[in-house]
């Protein structure tokens, strides 16, 4: 049984064998993974020790105190938060070997789920994968793909059987973004930059060995990804006044000349809501210690999007004319999203995407209503209709 004392011992040994000040950052991260201290709840040999998930905080605290390097969750968040738990649950032994370069950040991952023709109805996707011998030949288009311009690998869902209802004819794959036929085009956003992309797949050959789960079972596999995605976006660990509420609170304290009674009341309300959301996220992570994330993550992601948009709107109002300034409209393709390190104009514009990425707020409201509150589901006339017969 691996307990806190054992983890402290192993962490001390790691620091002794690979002193952070004298060891290359990537070499240290690889050594940490090999020591089972990357994500301690994963199995041995895959970056963990099969320990309780709650004990990860013990390792993190020891390494932080030693000023040891860490990976960059903002840059590799899709791999860490979405691809890794799905591969762990459904992957073959060969596929699980992708976890090491994923965790240390050698390889970036992206998510090829959304499509321009499916909108919020992900199960209506039309990208086709056709079996040809030991390969699958994939054709289609994906959209709103974060980090596709950086990614080596992608998690991909495609339609493999158009003759059954839409949820049952989907299969889940791992796609090599460097393969012939994969084309990434930038999508310039309201912020001026192109963090998102559209991806065109033309006769891309994916070996069957890169299929995750059974043929036709892709929707069930994708639920693992989606549930973890919502927690990764909406349930991130933050200190008090972390996230969007931090910059506007600092402005309020430092600029008394901007204060009004109305803005004060609104700030108090949003500050309390942000703190409630932060504490709710802590409780959700405690629940995850004993199992996989459930539909509660949808509620957290909903709150995250709404709060970000309301808080950034308040910040722009508080700053007045200054809030209308935006420092840089240069077209660029960033490696990560940095809300707090940019100006108020950027935060206001970028937060508009929060209610779309990771599942639209409208879809998440349905999930909360049906799976958390137990309300009757909406009528679905297409539930038993073959995908090929659906109007599109």
Q: What is the pLDDT of residues 309-319, one digit of tens each?
A: 999 999 999 99
Res. 300: pLDDT tops 90: no
Q: What is the pLDDT of residues 39-81, one digit of tens each?
A: 999 999 999 999 988 899 999 999 999 999 999 888 899 999 9
Res. 286: pLDDT tops 80: no
Query: What percent of the chain is modeled with pLDDT above 70?
Result: 95
Kindly list the catalytic residues: 229
**pLDDT value at residue 264:** 97
DSSP state of 196: E
**pLDDT value at residue 324:** 83
Across the range 230-245, mean pLDDT stands at: 77
Q: What is the pLDDT of residues 81-90, one digit of tens each?
A: 999 999 999 9
Inter-residue contact 298 to 306 (CB < 8 Å): no
Q: What is the pLDDT of residues 335-345, one digit of tens each?
A: 877 777 788 99
Q: CA-to-CA distance for 171 and 164, rounded, in angstroms? A: 13
Q: What is the pLDDT of residues 127-175, one digit of tens each?
A: 999 999 999 999 999 999 999 999 999 999 999 999 999 999 999 999 9
Across the range 189-200, mean pLDDT stands at: 92
Across the range 14-25, mean pLDDT stands at: 96
pTM of the model: 0.89
Inter-residue contact 37 to 57 (CB < 8 Å): no
Res. 285: pLDDT tops 90: no
Give the mean pLDDT of the chain.
91
Inter-residue contact 124 to 118 (CB < 8 Å): yes
Inter-residue contact 358 to 301 (CB < 8 Å): yes
Q: CA-to-CA distance for 369 and 237, rounded, in angstroms? A: 25
| Three-state secondary-structure class, residue 131 | strand
Query: What percent of the chain is modeled with pLDDT above 90?
Result: 66
Q: CA-to-CA distance for 299 and 307, rounded, in angstroms? A: 12
Say how many C-beta atoms besides its own lie within 10 A of residue 240's C-beta. Answer: 12
**pLDDT value at residue 118:** 86
**pLDDT value at residue 230:** 67
DSSP state of 217: B
Q: Which residue has the tokens 């409209």?
A: 329
**pLDDT value at residue 145:** 94
Based on the number of CB atoms within 10 Å of its own CB, is 106 exposed (0-12), middle (13-18) or buried (19 or more)? middle
* Confidence category of residue 379, pLDDT binned at 50, 70, 90: confident
Across the range 193-218, mean pLDDT stands at: 96
**pLDDT value at residue 70:** 93
């Amino acid at each position: 049984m691996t307990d806190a004392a054992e983890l402290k011992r192993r962490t001390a040994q790691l620091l002794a064998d690979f002193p952070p000040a004298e060891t290359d950052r990537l070499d240290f991260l690889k050594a940490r993974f090999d020591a089972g201290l990357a994500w301690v709840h994963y199995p041995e040999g895959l970056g963990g020790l099969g320990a309780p998930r709650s004990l990860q905080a013990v390792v993190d605290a020891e390494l932080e105190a030693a000023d040891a390097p860490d990976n960059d969750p903002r840059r590799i968040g899709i791999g860490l938060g979405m691809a890794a738990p799905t591969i762990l649950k459904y992957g073959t032994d060969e596929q699980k070997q992708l976890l090491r370069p994923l965790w240390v950040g050698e390889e970036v991952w992206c998510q090829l789920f959304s499509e321009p023709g499916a909108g919020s109805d992900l199960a209506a996707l039309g990208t086709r994968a056709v079996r040809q011998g030991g390969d699958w030949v994939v054709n289609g288009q994906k959209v709103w793909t974060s980090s596709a311009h950086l990614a080596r690998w992608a998690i991909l869902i495609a339609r493999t059987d158009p003759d059954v209802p839409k949820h049952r004819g989907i299969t889940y794959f791992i796609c090599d973004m460097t393969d012939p036929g994969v084309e990434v085009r930038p999508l310039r956003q309201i912020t001026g930059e192109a963090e998102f992309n559209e991806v065109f797949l033309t006769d891309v050959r994916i070996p069957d060995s890169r299929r995750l789960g059974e043929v036709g079972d892709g929707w069930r596999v994708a639920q693992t990804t989606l549930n973890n995605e919502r927690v990764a976006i909406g349930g991130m660990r933050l200190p008090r006044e972390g996230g969007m509420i931090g910059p506007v609170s600092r402005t309020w304290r430092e600029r008394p000349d901007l204060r009004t009674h109305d803005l004060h009341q609104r700030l108090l309300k949003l500050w309390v809501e942000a703190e409630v959301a932060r504490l709710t996220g802590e409780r959700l992570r405690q629940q995850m210690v004993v199992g996989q994330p459930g539909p509660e993550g949808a509620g957290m992601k909903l709150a995250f999007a709404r709060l970000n948009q309301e808080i950034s709107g308040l910040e722009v109002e508080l700053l007045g004319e200054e809030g209308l300034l935006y420092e840089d409209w240069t077209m660029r393709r960033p490696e990560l999203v940095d809300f707090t390190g940019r100006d108020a104009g950027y935060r206001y514009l970028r937060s508009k995407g929060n209610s779309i990425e990771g599942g639209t707020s409208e879809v998440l409201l349905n999930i909360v209503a049906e799976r958390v509150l137990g309300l009757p589901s909406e009528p679905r006339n297409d539930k038993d209709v073959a995908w090929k017969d659906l109007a599109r």
